[in-house]
Amino acid sequence: MDISKLQERLFDKGKQIGFGDMEIYYSSGRSTAVKVWNKEIRGYEIREQSGVSFRGLYNNKMGYSYTEKLDDKSADFLLDEAIKNAKSLEINGVEELFGGADHYEKLDNYSEALAELSTEAMIRWAFEMENAALESDSRIKRVIECVVSNTCGETAIINTRGLNCRSKYADAAGGIYVMAGDGKQTATGFESDFTLQDVSKLNFKEIGEKAAREAVSKLGASSIESGNYPVIFRYDTATQLLGAFVSSLSGEAVEKGFSKLEGRLGEQIAGINVTIIEDPLMKNVPGSAAFDGEGYPTRRFELVKEGRLMTFMHNSKTARKAGTLSTGNARKGGYRGTVNVGPHNIYLKPGSLPLEAMIEKTQKGILIVELQGANAGINFVSGNFSLYAIGHLIDDGKLVHPVDQITVSGNIFEILSDIEEIGGDLRIRGAEQ
């Protein structure tokens, strides 16, 4: 059944049996992944999922339900389940459905050509990546994983208060994980890239070569003496640490007492060279969205400006409890998911120096290119971390040799106050990265 027809039938029947405000959240998606290894196809997977969730006020209580089936019986099922759910609630709900905004930004996240990529082409690109990695250096011993993926889908949020938000998306990505060896050591390297526009913008040969260079660059690594070293976190490792800090910027974390930043709005929490931006309207990146999981319009704003905490991310519920407005950061993980708070595209405002210039300015230090064990090694509340790391020793402005068997420890909140330079190599990472 067409989603519009289901919505009409659902709302009409809902009104007849006593529902007040009602809303549906529809999502559908398809993903295709091709895996190759040793010049053979090792995996081919297609996943499709679609469904609709419903919420509506029944006797002043918000009832919920969902289904994967979109047929003539779906409306009755959703209403019956929502009534049962509402009756089981002991406390009257205070949820209010959002009636929509006057304006939503237009984002072009859908390409028909990307949505209809052929399997043959994806297989060809995967082999191209693998061959490029294996042929780029004789020390590349094997490809651990080589994947080309393609996803597409759509989302719609419609309610009786006038909200009617719809969006479609499509993307393609390639990623490869390789192992290098020199007879004494082995090392691994990973690289990936994505596009939301045109698959010709993906250079699969270059992706394979970059992964190979990364693996080979780690060969010959040794440990170094313990001590305090100036450290440069490459964009990908810096992203891991920033991601842990971002959890403290959630209004939901503040509400539950899981944020160290509670009560510090307007205060200096980082160095004046630190500005953290949330930009859901950034073009051609996977996290871009004109509306959030509740239908609120999104916007670009600064969470931290020149080290000062400006705001937290909010959905309607956390905003209401904090006495403020939603920032458009309601997240819903598909039609089955509950609404929480999460970022779209958060990044550290880049500086002007390229990585090479930062290395040249460092007399003695370490460039960190890999952090391991982030899930267990970072305390997301206190900010303390202790992580196994791989990197390169810097001496007199040059990369001298790779280092491993080292542990990097510290506190993320303290690091943000001690940053000397921020690189200019901003890179938004896709889901597969």
Give the closest residue to 146 by CA, choosing from 188, 190, 202. Answer: 190
Determine the pLDDT at residue 119: 94
Q: What backbone torsions phi and psi does residue 287 show, to the nearest 5 degrees?
A: -85, 0
Q: What is the mean pLDDT of residues 319-336?
A: 94
Supply the angle between the helices 204-217 and 119-136 in degrees, to the nearest 10. 30
Give the closest residue to 177 by CA, choosing from 137, 215, 233, 217. Answer: 215
Q: What is the mean pLDDT of residues 57-67?
A: 94
Distance CA 86, CA 25 (A): 18
Determine the pLDDT at residue 192: 96
Residue with tokens 């307007």: 266
E-strand stretches of 292-363: 301-305, 308-309, 330-332, 339-341, 346-348
DSSP 349: P
Is the predicted pLDDT of residue 33 greater than 70, yes or no? yes
Question: 162 near 144, Cβ under 8 Å?
Answer: no
- Quickly state the pLDDT bin for 94 (edges 50, 70, 90): low
E-strand stretches of 59-113: 61-67
Q: pTM above the 0.85 mark?
A: yes
Distance CA 207, CA 335 (A): 34
What are 362's two structure tokens?
A: 């460092």
Distance CA 179, CA 303 (A): 39
Of the chain, the percentage scoring pLDDT greater than 90 comes to: 88
- Over residues 188-241, the pLDDT tens digits come to 999 999 999 899 989 999 999 999 999 999 999 999 988 889 999 999 999 999
Determine the pLDDT at residue 272: 97
- Quickly state the pLDDT bin for 405 (edges 50, 70, 90): confident
Beta bridge partners of 22: 56
What are 391's two structure tokens?
A: 């990197």
Can you tell me whether residue 126 is helix, strand or coil?
helix
Is the predicted pLDDT of residue 328 greater than 90, yes or no? yes
Q: Domains in the chain, start-ordered, CATH in brackets? A: 3-216 (3.30.2290.10), 221-433 (no CATH)
Is the predicted pLDDT of residue 93 greater than 60, yes or no? no
Distance CA 248, CA 414 (A): 14
